[in-house]
Structure 1
Amino acid sequence: MHSTMECLTEWMTRQRWYAGKGRVPQLVEVHREDWPCDEPDASIRVLLLRDTASTPPSLYHVPIVARTTIPRGAGPAFIGRDEHDDYLFDGPHDPIYVRALLRRLGVTRHDQAGRVHTGEQSNSSIIVDGGSEAPLVAKVFRLVHPGDNPDVVLQTALTTAGNRNVPRMLGSVTAAWTDPLGSESHTDEPVRGHLAFAQEFVPGVRDGWPLALEAAREGEPFTTDAERLGRVTAAVHQALAACLPSREPTLGDIVGFVAGWHQRLAVAISDVPQLRDLRPQIEAVYDAARDAPWPPLQRIHGDFHLGQVLRRPTGEWLIVDFEGEPLRPLSERSRVDSPLRDVAGMLRSFDYAVGSLRRESRAAAGAIDTASLDLDALALEAERAEWARMARAAFLDGYIAASGLDLRAHRALLDAFELDKAVYEAMYEARNRPGWLPIPLAAVAYLVSSSRAAKR
């Protein structure tokens, strides 16, 4: 037997959503709720745990179920045995927590059996689709922050506006806590944030990433799907601009964007030496964007790529996961931003589909020497990637047709957003997946090339 905190410390290191890979959590309980339970030999404990081993310290939402016995089939969700002789289980995998969560969400349905989606990483999604009632999915946030989560705010606004390009929102759960250790507040005043929400679950959909990958591998055009996706993206942007704040960018906004690009580049160069030789050209693209025309700022998706879109069996696209980048401060993810950031993110995703196949070929031929990559050859490679070029063009055509925003008039700005994204990707790959580094480096080299500059 161990204390609850000892059990959780060992267990959390094995969870995909734990962000502190490679280190031992230093957990401090900052909030606890005991939810009503419909079984006499069990209890539900909803914990908020601050991990002081990370910088800044992360706040985790960990719902657990304590039982006096181990139910049949509960082994995979087992956390440990605490000082009270109770067996602890991960809440989303336990039916009594699922039933309690649905009550908190205000969802009434006869069949409440849930299953946890195995592909989730930063959160835990519980799919409830038994019986004849409309299926739903409840997303349990694991990393939580004071304030309203964009995933809840944006999808609620879109649902209220009647937009059908996102799953319909059904309810959300919040908590209030006091956390003087919090990096966002450093205060004894109580704060409030989202713990979970529920939305409709659309059966039969397919994730956009494997769809695009299959098409690229078979050499099949993705233009029809990409054009539809461009139209849906524009429709969602228009709906967000209509129901949430939007405004013209100020000079301060523009200077802030450009300064952020330069700062990310400076950090990336320490991880990716190949960027050093390209720095003057990269900075020239950034500086040119400062003087280019800017469309209005508004709320956006914030982490847009093929893995964030689902295609219905009928061919229509749904956009999901409006949380933004979970490791970024909530204050940054809740600000108005440029819709071109989302557009650039999807353009990069088309490139990644082709690049990942090219990486497979390189890996099959032998190890990739990232230190001796030929940047000119990579730039030419990116320019000649016909499948990605056609998908990108179709996506932009669809976006322009549905939005009325002539992206050609913002080509310099769009290139800057895409270049910033590629620089970030290069830094990420160098740190985590060196074999993937040629993909973003090819994009950087092409975006600063003379052939690309001639098209601006």
Structure 2
Amino acid sequence: MSPLTSHLDLIAPWLGSQRWFASKGHLPELELLGSWQIPAADCRVLTHLIMDHSATVPVLYQVPVTEHRSPLTDGDAALIGTFPDGDDTVYLYDGPQDPVYAEALLRMIVSGATAIPEGADAVGRSFGDMEISAIDAARVLRGEQSNTSIIYKVTTPNGPLRVICKVFRALHHGENPDVVLQSAIAAAGSDSVPHSIGYIEGGWSDIGQPGGLAHGHLAFAQEFLAGAEDAWRIALRASEDGVDFTAEAHALGTTTAEVHRTLAASFGTKTPSDSDVAETLDSFSARLQLAIDEVPAIAELRGVIEDLYSTVRTLEWPALHRIHGDYHLGQVLVADGHWILIDFEGEPMRPMIERSRPDFAVRDVAGMLRSFDYVAGSLGSTEQAAAWTSAARRAFLSGYIEESGIDLRAHRELLDAFEMDKAVYEAVYEARNRPDWLPIPLAALRRLAARAR
């Protein structure tokens, strides 16, 4: 049996237990599309691109691994499995949890190195002339569901630096908005995103693409804001303690509008055509049907929701431009008293080609309003939490309107339609992943439906 066959045999059962594995409840059916190798002195460092055919739509995963001839110290949690190689035993580890892989990955990005292709290729791209004197520590950020991020402490000629490198787990052909958008915002001089360091891009076989090859981003490194806390935890604590949050929510609305303005200036705007509006509403309708199939309780609201979608079809829609795409309190940090936006990948359930198109900024606004609603829902929707959320929502919307000059309240039906679509999306997500939280989007759908009647 070849080492790569052994890898797949070991990865299959391990893959199904990972948080970022999308087909929960299915046994992985794996096909290796290709691999690439980073030279390392202590072990073999490979990154496999593996297609899983167990879901209705196949998913391509990036699975970095390391091979060792002896077990890693304190490496039990990272061990995928073992296999024989002659008289030796080979220990196969999850790459991001192995310091050897972590260091090789960051140095590849900073130096602009090219990997050794083994059916797939990869190259590092640096945004500047950053030098690394030493990598002092590396650890995996816990709790992520879609990707794997490695946090580094590094020494540079200019002093110590913290870096975060996100390894994209589910791969798609085309640019990853997280790389492209954050880099453009940082290049425009904004301090509302972390400083970009570089990325890895790669290519792999794909019979559905011209020439049979696909290309995309594989990893993205940027400054890590040590000591920063995400807005979700801050908001949840404030709501639980009954602390007024309107000033912070207003400032978040202002920052959101500033970032939208930077994205519009960096990538341009587009006046929406009738087909743009129709395509957006068609996607709303398709998500609604999917949600009804998976969450039958939504069926009773179908008529009201469809009437709202028909109403907004005739309204004047704002300009299209690049947006965040999956905007909520968990995608915002506070550092030195300033809001910082992160994770511009867009909704994981939307195809990458959709996430890379110009979109309506009201989608981001609706996403943040939904996130404030989740604060109350997660605390049991007490009267105090509901009042806190209502005030925070109003303050966020006021800050956005004042900074952007776009009065979203003038056509509240349009904002409600986007918030409705987001709640429909949430209902499907919660039904699949967190059934105990399903009442939160269902309550929002009923509230929005009541206002639309």
TM-score in same-fold range (> 0.5): yes
Query: Residue 142 in 1 paired to residue 172 in 2?
Result: no
Query: Residue 309 in 1 paired to residue 332 in 2?
Result: yes
Report the Cα distance in structure 1 between the residues aligned to 2:436 and 2:39, rounded to whole angstroms.
49
Residue from 231, 245, 248 that aligns with 2:268: 245
CA deviations on 1:315-349 (whole Å, 9 max, x unpaired) are 21111000112232111111111000000000011
Report if aligned partners of 1:4, 1:83 keep a CA contact under 8 Å in 2: no
- AA at the equivalent of 2:346: G
Report if aligned partners of 2:204, 2:213 keep a CA contact under 8 Å in 1: yes
Report if aligned partners of 1:109, 1:133 keep a CA contact under 8 Å in 2: no
Residue from 209, 218, 224 that aligns with 2:241: 218
Residue from 116, 121, 125 that aligns with 2:149: 125
Report the Cα distance in structure 2 between the residues aligned to 1:220 and 1:250, rounded to whole angstroms.
44
Query: Residue 277 in 1 paired to residue 300 in 2?
Result: yes
How far residue 246 of structure 1 moved from its aligned partner, in angstroms, is 2.0
| Structure 2 CA distance for partners of 1:34 and 1:250, relative to 1, 3 Å | same
CA deviations on 1:334-374 (whole Å, 9 max, x unpaired) are 11110000000000111110011116x7xxxxxxxxxxxxx
Report if aligned partners of 2:304, 2:452 keep a CA contact under 8 Å in 1: no
Report if aligned partners of 2:133, 2:154 keep a CA contact under 8 Å in 1: no
Provide the residue aligned with 1:357 in structure 2.
379
Query: Residue 116 in 1 paired to residue 140 in 2?
Result: yes
Query: Residue 29 in 1 paired to residue 32 in 2?
Result: yes
Report the Cα distance in structure 2 between the residues aligned to 1:15 and 1:453, rounded to whole angstroms.
41
CA deviations on 1:16-49 (whole Å, 9 max, x unpaired) are 111121122111111111211133xx11111101
Report the Cα distance in structure 2 between the residues aligned to 1:134 and 1:105, rounded to whole angstroms.
16
Report the Cα distance in structure 1 between the residues aligned to 2:209 and 2:247, rounded to whole angstroms.
50
SS at match of 1:86: strand
Report the Cα distance in structure 1 between the residues aligned to 2:433 and 2:20, rounded to whole angstroms.
16
How far residue 156 of structure 1 moved from its aligned partner, in angstroms, is 1.1
| Structure 2 CA distance for partners of 1:21 and 1:277, relative to 1, 3 Å | closer
Provide the residue aligned with 1:57 in structure 2.
58
SS at match of 2:190: coil
How far residue 145 of structure 1 moved from its aligned partner, in angstroms, is 1.0
Provide the residue aligned with 2:15 in structure 1.
12
Could you state the TM-score of these two structures normalised by the residue count of structure 2? 0.89
Unmatched runs of 5 consecutive residues or more in structure 1: 362-380
SS at match of 1:233: helix
Provide the residue aligned with 1:99 in structure 2.
103
How far residue 74 of structure 1 moved from its aligned partner, in angstroms, is 1.9
CA deviations on 1:358-401 (whole Å, 9 max, x unpaired) are 16x7xxxxxxxxxxxxxxxxxxx89x932111101100111111
Report the Cα distance in structure 2 between the residues aligned to 1:173 and 1:418, rounded to whole angstroms.
35
How far residue 57 of structure 1 moved from its aligned partner, in angstroms, is 0.8
Report the Cα distance in structure 1 between the residues aligned to 2:145 and 2:292, rounded to whole angstroms.
28
CA deviations on 1:201-255 (whole Å, 9 max, x unpaired) are 0111111111111111112121111111101110110000100132010000011
| Structure 2 CA distance for partners of 1:427 and 1:291, relative to 1, 3 Å | same
How far residue 191 of structure 1 moved from its aligned partner, in angstroms, is 1.8
Report the Cα distance in structure 2 between the residues aligned to 1:122 and 1:275, rounded to whole angstroms.
27
Report the Cα distance in structure 1 between the residues aligned to 2:105 and 2:7, rounded to whole angstroms.
22
Residue from 176, 197, 201 that aligns with 2:203: 176
| Structure 2 CA distance for partners of 1:203 and 1:73, relative to 1, 3 Å | same
Number of residue pairs matched by the alignment: 424
Report if aligned partners of 1:268, 1:424 keep a CA contact under 8 Å in 2: yes
Query: Residue 159 in 1 paired to residue 186 in 2?
Result: yes
Report if aligned partners of 2:322, 2:358 keep a CA contact under 8 Å in 1: yes
Report the Cα distance in structure 2 between the residues aligned to 1:297 and 1:275, rounded to whole angstroms.
30
| Structure 2 CA distance for partners of 1:196 and 1:56, relative to 1, 3 Å | same
Report if aligned partners of 1:149, 1:323 keep a CA contact under 8 Å in 2: yes
Provide the residue aligned with 1:390 in structure 2.
391
- AA at the equivalent of 1:448: A
Query: After the TM superposition, which of the residue ranges 434-443 and 228-237 deviates more from structure 2?
Result: 434-443
Report if aligned partners of 1:310, 1:317 keep a CA contact under 8 Å in 2: yes
How far residue 12 of structure 1 moved from its aligned partner, in angstroms, is 1.2
Unmatched runs of 5 consecutive residues or more in structure 2: 111-129
Provide the identity percentage.
48
Report the Cα distance in structure 2 between the residues aligned to 1:11 and 1:267, rounded to whole angstroms.
29
Residue from 258, 266, 271 that aligns with 2:281: 258
Report the Cα distance in structure 1 between the residues aligned to 2:431 and 2:166, rounded to whole angstroms.
31
| Structure 2 CA distance for partners of 1:401 and 1:391, relative to 1, 3 Å | same
SS at match of 1:171: strand
Could you state the TM-score of these two structures normalised by the residue count of structure 1? 0.88
- AA at the equivalent of 1:91: G
Report the Cα distance in structure 2 between the residues aligned to 1:274 and 1:9, rounded to whole angstroms.
35
CA deviations on 1:40-65 (whole Å, 9 max, x unpaired) are xx111111011112221111111111
How far residue 274 of structure 1 moved from its aligned partner, in angstroms, is 3.1
Report the Cα distance in structure 2 between the residues aligned to 1:176 and 1:435, rounded to whole angstroms.
40
- AA at the equivalent of 1:117: L
Q: Which has the higher strand share?
A: 2
- AA at the equivalent of 2:439: P
Report the Cα distance in structure 1 between the residues aligned to 2:372 and 2:411, rounded to whole angstroms.
20
- AA at the equivalent of 1:252: S
